[in-house]
Structure 1
Amino acid sequence: MKKRKPQTRTDGHIRIISGKFKGRKLPVKDVEGLRPTTDRVKETVFNWLMADTRDADVLDCFAGSGSLGFESLSRFANHATFIELDKTAAAQIKQNIQTLALDNAQVINSNALDYLSNNSQQRNFDIVYLDPPFRKNLVSPCCELLESAGWLNHDSLIYVEFEKEAQPNFPANWQLLKEKKAGQVSCMLFRRTDISAS
């Protein structure tokens, strides 16, 4: 009886679906727990954000492959900040930034919660992507920090992706604009409203 060869994990790629880098494929390291956003979900997200990415300052929390941040930059975002804890994944994002010759992107190799809690070089973001590892209860505390620590503009857009069975808490002044379920994933787009203006 032949022994089965153990399955080897292989690196993959992400594809930029529109904009100045349309069709470009960028390598992605095979890191445990990394779930690059599928093209189908990505198309939905950027249909929602079609009129908003140009000139936006973007934060890609739990960046992983950096797929959402790179798609934003391809669609003429002003700047993208990628936060990624895994050193291998963060290094690959840096390499892809160099490959695309981008001078308007930075990679933070850090725990997203720590970074959002303790950052002295803070900037306000127009669009935030929040797509943490599943089943680690990270959505609610991240949303709370984004709101309470002053990371958002008065009308920032926040895209959140999480496992379908989860029930995260969202700040009361975040208005739900769009919602979609795709397989085991829930996707939501919120607009922040300024409490002081109400």
Structure 2
Amino acid sequence: MKRGVKPSNQPTGAIRIISGRWRGTKLPVANVAGLRPTTDRNKETLFNWLMPYVNSANCLDVFAGSGGLGFEALSRYASSVTFIELDKGAIANLQQNLQKLKVSSEQASIVAGNALQILPSLNKQFDLIFLDPPFHKNLLPPVIKLINEHNLLAKDGVVYLESESQAADYVVPNNWQLLKERQGSQLCSRLYRI
């Protein structure tokens, strides 16, 4: 191995939990192609939006990646988080961070695989769903459709969608009410409630 080159499964950065029981805790992030953890600034805005919803919520973190959104929800006393992730390096990193935080299997689980195949098999509803897919893959439309078709969002549940600004023209079900929106030159964040 050449000097200065890290193996791809080694952590190359960190995410920081910004509030709650693990406030200030830094968690390593695996070197995974295309992984872009939510910035502290965007995470703070999002969780200000979610303040009335996150405590005691059953959460689903689709396209979990670093798990930053799910870990922040757990830190803020969400009841549980189900992480869905395809990349093996990211999954190993999620497992290590769950162990580091001493999160029980009742509080968090990781479902490994393709979200488009996993979502139809989930047999529960969630109070809070995070949708922050890899950019330039056009994954939001089919995932939104699956969430609606399989009734995965509980009554009065909320769903957070993050996309590149150029792909923010997706359609949501008629019963999803837009609560909050933040549009930048590169990123669009929206919060919906049913």
TM-score, normalised by the number of residues in structure 2 = 0.92
Structure 2 residue ranges without an equivalent (≥5): none
Distance in structure 2 (CA, Å) of the matches to 1:156 and 1:83: 19
Indicate the SS of the match to 1:188.
strand
Question: Unpaired segments of 5 or more residues in structure 1?
Answer: 193-198
Query: Out of 176, 179, 183, which is 1:177 matched to?
Result: 179
Partners of 1:67 and 1:182 in 2: CA distance: 21
SS at match of 1:134: coil
Cα deviation code 1:121-154 (max 9, x no counterpart): 5111000000001111100110111011121112
SS in 1 for 2:53: coil
Q: CA deviation at 1:101?
A: 0.5
Equivalent runs, 1:84-123 vs 2, <5 Å: 84-103=85-104, 104-117=107-120, 119=121, 121-123=122-124
Q: TM-score, normalised by structure 1?
A: 0.90
Cross-structure match for 1:16:
17
Is 1:188 matched with 2:190?
A: yes
CA contact (8 A) 1:41 1:182 kept: no
Q: How far is the alpha carbon of 1:59 from its aligned partner?
A: 0.3
Q: Who is 1:40 aligned against?
A: 41
1:183 CA displacement = 3.9
* 1:40-98 C-alpha deviation (Å, 9 max, x unpaired): 11011000001211100000000000000000000000000000000110111011111
What is the identity, as a one-letter code, of the residue corresponding to 1:177?
Answer: L
Q: Secondary structure at the match of 2:94?
A: helix
Q: Counterpart amino acid of 2:129?
A: V
Identity %: 49
Structure 1 CA distance, aligned partners of 2:148 and 2:156? Answer: 12
Offset at residue 182 of structure 1 (A): 3.3
Bigger Rg, which one: 1
Q: How does 1:54-73 map to 2 (within 5 A)?
A: 54-73=55-74
**Partner Cα separation in structure 1 for residue 129 and residue 76 of structure 2:** 15
Q: Residue 125 of structure 1 contacts residue 151 of structure 1 at CA under 8 Å; is this kept in 2?
A: yes
Deviation at 1:6, TM superposition (A): 9.0
Question: C-alpha separation between the residues in 2 aligned to 1:137 and 1:161?
Answer: 12
Q: Which residue of 2 aligns with 1:77?
A: 78
Name the amino acid aligned to 1:128.
I
CA distance in 1, matches of 2:62, 2:24: 24
